[in-house]
Amino acid sequence: MFEAPLTGIRGTATLRPLEPHQAEEFAAHMDRAREHIRPWVGPTFVTTDVDGARATLQRYADAAARDGNRIFGIWLDEVVEPVETTPTSTLVGGVMFVEFSAAAGTCEIGCWLEPAAAGRGLITAACRMLLTYAFEERHLHRAEWRCRADNVRSSAVAERLGMTLEGVLREAWKVGDTFYDKQVWSVLAGEFSPSS
Ligand SMILES: CC(C)(COP(=O)(O)OP(=O)(O)OC[C@H]1O[C@@H](n2cnc3c(N)ncnc32)[C@H](O)[C@@H]1OP(=O)(O)O)[C@@H](O)C(=O)NCCC(=O)NCCS
């Protein structure tokens, strides 16, 4: 399967499509990520077993087959002793087109990481690759980013990507019995630079 190296990050990592046959690896990763991401992502994404993980990946595979939403994993290389051995590669998170419509010219990007992989620039680099694909290869016009208004690390990614905060949807994000404000960020094709 193809893979693309992530550049400008701390460490060595690659972006690859995440597919149903990787359900067991995805479920093991979800065990490491679940409690970290639960407050910040949609509830259907936070699965608890291999069947749930496979259902997530199958949902994206079905959508991708219709040229819709897509999901990609980030594999981080870790050097193990002795250093001359091949580094191990671990699925640590990913990015996705939560929405993707060539007809409408719009998409929405989402992301997640397990805690050990945070603070390396992985997500910003991976999102730049998705935006480059959306704007330069597919000629979409607008990409959105939606996050809980108090999700500081997610807002920081949107800002690093050169997105503009367009507004706040009041109490539009429900977690348990609590409603949180939701931010809407976007970048237009003419505003995006892969190196920004
Ligand atoms: C949102 C989330 C993915 C962001 O992760 P992140 O690690 O902050 O984002 P990036 O991978 O882009 O890394 C950026 C960080 O790495 C640092 N960094 C970037 N490039 C670097 C490099 N080459 N070397 C070292 N550090 C680097 C940045 O300084 C930044 O850290 P800072 O914010 O403390 O300054 C993560 O917080 C998460 O998984 N949250 C839970 C799920 C979630 O909220 N998903 C989004 C729903 S809308």
pLDDT at 193: 87
Cα–Cα nearest to 100, from 52, 135, 147: 135
Ligand 1 mutation target, pool 120, 128, 161, 182, most atoms within 8 A of CB: 120
> Which atom of ligand 1 approaches the CA of 124 most closely?
12
> In this predicted model, what pLDDT tens digit does every residue of 144-193 receive, in sequence order?
999 999 999 999 999 999 999 999 999 999 999 999 999 999 999 999 98
DSSP codes, 28-44:
HHHHHHHHHHTTTS-GG
Ligand 1 mutation target, pool 29, 38, 109, 124, most atoms within 8 A of CB: 124
pLDDT at 80: 62
pLDDT band for position 88 (cuts 50, 70, 90): confident
- Please determine, for residue 79, whether its predicted confidence score (pLDDT) is greater than 90: no
Question: Residue for token digits 């496979």?
Answer: 54
Please give the Cα distance from 20 to 71 (Å, whole number).
11
Write the CB contacts of 138 (distance below 8 Å, at least 6 apart in sequence). Answer: 102
Q: pTM of the entire structure?
A: 0.95
Query: Where do the DSSP E strands lie in 59-137?
Result: 70-78, 88-101, 106-113
State if residue 154 touches ligand 1 by the CB under 6 angstroms criterion.
yes
Please give the Cα distance from 164 to 187 (Å, whole number).
6
Q: Whose CA is nearest to atom 23 of ligand 1?
A: 9
pLDDT band for position 194 (cuts 50, 70, 90): confident
> In this predicted model, what pLDDT tens digit does every residue of 98-121 receive, in sequence order?
999 999 999 999 999 999 999 999
Q: Ligand 1 center to residue 117 CA distance, Å?
A: 8
Within a 10 A sphere around the Cβ of 58, how many other Cβ atoms?
A: 13
